[in-house]
């Protein structure tokens, strides 16, 4: 049985830390996103925003079904992209699902909320071309937010690796549900 000698001092510890940091940098530099991730993600978000705006404005069972169908499309696309990322790279990146795919970053969140608010207002006014425009702008902003997070992560993975906490995601889900309920009651 072979044993390793104990660390010789601070220089050996620094050397080991340097090797670990360099290994982390190489891993991060080698990560690849699935082809077409940003356009596919932006399109899925645009579909979800448009269907949600329609469903909220219609306030019918059919409208609810359309809104849920849009949500299913988005969730299937996000799950597929996450699966592709893991298949391509063989690793999990903390923050990828919440920051990049679920849009918990500030640009993606603002783009989504703005697109949904404008789209919902336009749907109530039966301005369908504005609904489409708001959904597209929201989807593009979402994709831009995802791209910005990925670039920041690649530059400094330690700072950007943490995803949104489950508590924060639960709070955001409750806020969204309350907002949708308010729109249904007021509208």
Q: Where are the domains of the chain?
A: 35-186
* pLDDT value for 108: 87
Q: What is the pLDDT of residues 10-63, one digit of tens each?
A: 666 676 665 666 665 666 666 888 899 999 999 999 999 999 999 999 989 999
Residue 94 neighbours by CB under 8 Å, 6+ apart: 161, 162, 163
- By C-alpha distance, which of 116, 162, 164, 167 is closest to 139? 116
pTM of the prediction? Answer: 0.76
186, two tokens = 């007021």
Q: Is 161 exposed, middle or buried (0-12, 13-18, 19+ CB in 10 A)?
A: middle
Distance set, CA 8 to CA 5, 11, 20 (Å): 8, 7, 18
Q: Is residue 67 within 8 Å of residue 55, measured between CB atoms?
A: yes
Which residues in the chain come in under a pLDDT of 70?
Answer: 1-13, 15-30, 157-169, 172-173, 180-181, 183-187
């Amino acid at each position: 049985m072979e044993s390793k000698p104990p660390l010789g001092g601070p220089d050996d510890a620094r050397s080991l830390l340097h090797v670990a940091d360099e290994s982390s940098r190489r891993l991060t530099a080698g990560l690849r996103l699935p082809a077409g991730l940003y356009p596919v993600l932006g399109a899925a978000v645009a579909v979800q925003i448009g269907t949600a705006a329609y469903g909220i404005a219609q306030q019918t069972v059919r409208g609810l079904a359309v809104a849920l169908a849009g949500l299913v499309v988005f969730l299937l696309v996000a799950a597929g992209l996450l699966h592709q990322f893991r298949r391509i790279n063989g690793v999990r990146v903390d923050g990828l699902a919440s920051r990049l795919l679920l849009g918990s970053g500030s640009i993606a969140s603002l783009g989504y909320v703005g697109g949904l608010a404008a789209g919902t207002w336009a749907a109530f006014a039966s301005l369908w071309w504005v609904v489409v425009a708001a959904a597209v702008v929201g989807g593009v902003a979402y994709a831009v937010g995802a791209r910005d997070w990925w670039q920041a992560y690649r530059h400094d993975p330690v700072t950007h690796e943490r995803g949104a906490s489950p508590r924060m995601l639960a709070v955001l889900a409750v806020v969204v549900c309350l907002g949708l309920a308010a729109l249904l009651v007021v509208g």
